[in-house]
Amino acid sequence: MATLITTRARARVNYGRWIADCPRPYCANAMRLTPGQAAFHCGGEGGCQLVAEVEWPADAVGIWAALVERPVPGTRNWYPDDHAEAVRLGLPHGQTAAELRDETREYEGVA
Ligand SMILES: [Zn+2]
């Protein structure tokens, strides 16, 4: 029986790259995204071949601009609001560009 999956793949920033986790239950795959990419395809080694619509944040450009100000690429991370992994790990999610800049100043030790 085929299963209709209506869940969208939610874009997030991970170590300075836009990615999305595969929304299919039990598929732990994640794929790199090109900004504005409309369709997610769970491809590559271990991909389940799911195709889903990508959900981008309304202010993707602003979020990205705030993150690239961080000198260390590994600190460029952003989760959409209520993203399951962020909630599970206790990480910030749904941050605005302004909140990301506040966080950058905090970690850079600049008042
Ligand atoms: Zn998948």
Phi and psi at 98, nearest 5°, equal: -65, -40
pLDDT score for 2: 54
Q: How far is the CA of 44 from the centre of ligand 1 (A)?
A: 10
pLDDT score for 45: 87
pLDDT score for 19: 98
pLDDT score for 4: 55
Q: How far is the CA of 70 from the centre of ligand 1 (A)?
A: 31
pLDDT score for 108: 83
CA distance 86 to 10: 13
- How do 9-14 and 51-55 pair as beta strands? parallel
Residue 33 is inside which H or E element, if any? Answer: none
CB atoms within 10 A of CB 45: 5
Q: Which residue numbers in the chain have pLDDT < 50?
A: none
CB 31 within 8 A of CB 42: yes
Q: How far is the CA of 32 from the centre of ligand 1 (A)?
A: 13
Q: How far is the CA of 45 from the centre of ligand 1 (A)?
A: 10
Q: How far is the CA of 27 from the centre of ligand 1 (A)?
A: 5
Q: How far is the CA of 1 from the centre of ligand 1 (A)?
A: 17
The residue type found at 31 is M
CA distance 88 to 104: 23
